[in-house]
Copies of this chain bind each other. A is one copy, B any other.
């Protein structure tokens, strides 16, 4: 006899409630969902004291690093920012009901493809309480019910935030099961979610490499994966020097820990002697270290040497791999070998070179004369994002409310039968 684990039992129940809630959600108007988002925002603010107390308890139990504790920490302004985030999502256009295509067949059948919610989404993330609130807002906007499983260090604050969100849903007259959280920090719950084929329609993992790898290894449910971002900035021989310096400094150092940060600088041999020393000086002034190939070290001798493995490393830190290349094709070859099809940029004045680069790179986001750090739902104008998808199915790049929809067909006839 197969005995279900407690986590599996809980998830089965939660997913059933989420399915029923999603069917109610799918019939709501955009105005109803926006009202609920505003009620959830108000409720976050009115529950701020409870949320901050829960955070204190989480922090008291937390043995992590200072950086970790900083991500976990919430202040009253941060709670307010979470609430404002939900209000901002309410201002976004309705992602549902859009006519994606529309045509009439020779037999008179009128076919329309319209955007519709995915259904029930499982979100697995780390101990960053605001991620749960953002995800709940994006899912609700797009008509999806969500089950949130945050990091074990944030279990008390996640519960307090969820209680506030649910109070908002209740006030707005929507089912409380639209937003649910895992009952505890037991890792078995992640396993139960990954195994929940037919119960969850999609899992969105957001976290480090080990989480994403576990999800991809174990999941029986479709996954909108966010794997590593090994992003390149390629400085073409035709680049405007000032622009190249500005873009490389921003792409690497604006924030080093995000997936759209540039990890490797590729620079054309023709321009490297004139430009690389200045780029290195700019970045050094910002605290960046280097792993450079032999040709780059011929130009700037005191750079640390790069190993083969360095070019395959997502630093997520103030370190830049540097390689000198011979033109667009060599840059593309390097990117095809070491890149992760996430985000790659060219800096060039030569439009033909840029066009060849953009055509030749198969990344989710390819940029010309802009920083790789623009790979972001907010910067794309999506208003909010639940993550950056690095797979090749369903959605690629920033994932906002629109990307959390699927479609269905309406076919309108006048009695047609198939010959």
Are the CB atoms of B374 and A254 closer together than 8 Å?
no
Q: Which residues of B contact A373 (CB under 8 A)?
A: 417-418
Are the CB atoms of B366 and A410 closer together than 8 Å?
yes
Interface of A, secondary structure class, is: mixed
Query: With the chains together, A313 CA to B207 CA distance in Å?
Result: 42
Q: Which residues of B contact A119 (CB under 8 A)?
A: 392
Known: A380-B111, A411-B367, A416-B374. A393 touches B250 (CB 8 A): no
Q: Point out the residue from B197, B408, B418 that lies within 8 Å of A397, measured CB to CB.
A: B408
Query: With the chains together, A418 CA to B76 CA distance in Å?
Result: 27
A413 at interface, CB cutoff 8 A: yes
A72 at interface, CB cutoff 8 A: no
Are the CB atoms of A392 and B118 closer together than 8 Å?
yes
Are the CB atoms of B415 and A370 closer together than 8 Å?
yes
Task: Name the distance in Å between A277's Cβ and chain B's nearest Cβ.
Answer: 20
Are the CB atoms of B109 and A374 closer together than 8 Å?
yes
Q: Which residues of B contact A371 (CB under 8 A)?
A: 416-418
Task: Name the distance in Å between A262's Cβ and chain B's nearest Cβ.
Answer: 11
Tell me the chain A residues, 219-257 only, with Cβ under 8 Å from chain B.
220, 222-223, 240, 243, 246-247, 249-251, 254
Known: A416-B371, A417-B250. A409 touches B366 (CB 8 A): yes
Q: Which residues of B contact A23 (CB under 8 A)?
A: 336, 362
Query: With the chains together, A220 CA to B217 CA distance in Å?
Result: 7
Q: Point out the residue from B250, B254, B360, B379 that lies within 8 Å of A105, measured CB to CB.
A: B379
Q: Which of A103, A379, A417 has the most CB of B within 10 A?
A: A417
Known: A202-B393, A418-B254. A411 touches B197 (CB 8 A): no
- Interface membership of chain A positions 387-401, coded 1 if the CB is closer than 8 angstroms to chain B and 0 otherwise: 000011110110000
Q: Which of A119, A216, A391, A416 has the most CB of B within 10 A?
A: A416
A368 at interface, CB cutoff 8 A: yes
Query: With the chains together, A411 CA to B201 CA distance in Å?
Result: 31
Query: With the chains together, A312 CA to B392 CA distance in Å?
Result: 34
Q: Which residues of B contact A406 (CB under 8 A)?
A: 392-394, 396
A188 at interface, CB cutoff 8 A: no
Q: Which residues of B contact A254 (CB under 8 A)?
A: 417-418
Q: Which residues of B contact A8 (CB under 8 A)?
A: none
Known: A417-B254, A418-B254, A418-B371. A409 touches B365 (CB 8 A): yes
Task: Name the distance in Å between A330's Cβ and chain B's nearest Cβ.
Answer: 16
Known: A374-B411, A408-B365, A413-B370. A222 touches B391 (CB 8 A): yes
Query: With the chains together, A416 CA to B375 CA distance in Å?
Result: 13
Q: Which residues of B contact A105 (CB under 8 A)?
A: 379-381
Are the CB atoms of A364 and B103 closer together than 8 Å?
no
Query: With the chains together, A247 CA to B413 CA distance in Å?
Result: 11
A338 at interface, CB cutoff 8 A: no
Query: With the chains together, A119 CA to B390 CA distance in Å?
Result: 14
Q: Which residues of B contact A392 (CB under 8 A)?
A: 118-119, 201-202, 222, 406
Q: Which 6 A-B pairs have the closest CB atoms?
A: A370-B413, A250-B417, A243-B415, A394-B394, A373-B418, A367-B411
Interface CB pairs A-B, < 8 A, 15: A23-B362, A109-B374, A109-B379, A119-B392, A243-B415, A249-B417, A250-B418, A358-B410, A370-B413, A370-B415, A370-B416, A371-B418, A374-B418, A393-B406, A396-B409
Interface residues, chain A, with chain B CB atoms under 8 Å away: 23, 26-27, 103, 105, 109, 111, 116, 118-119, 197, 201-202, 216-217, 220, 222-223, 240, 243, 246-247, 249-251, 254, 336, 358-360, 362-371, 373-374, 376, 379-381, 391-394, 396-397, 406-418
Known: A243-B415, A365-B409, A366-B408. 7 other contacts (CB 8 A): A109-B379, A197-B216, A364-B408, A366-B409, A374-B413, A374-B416, A376-B418
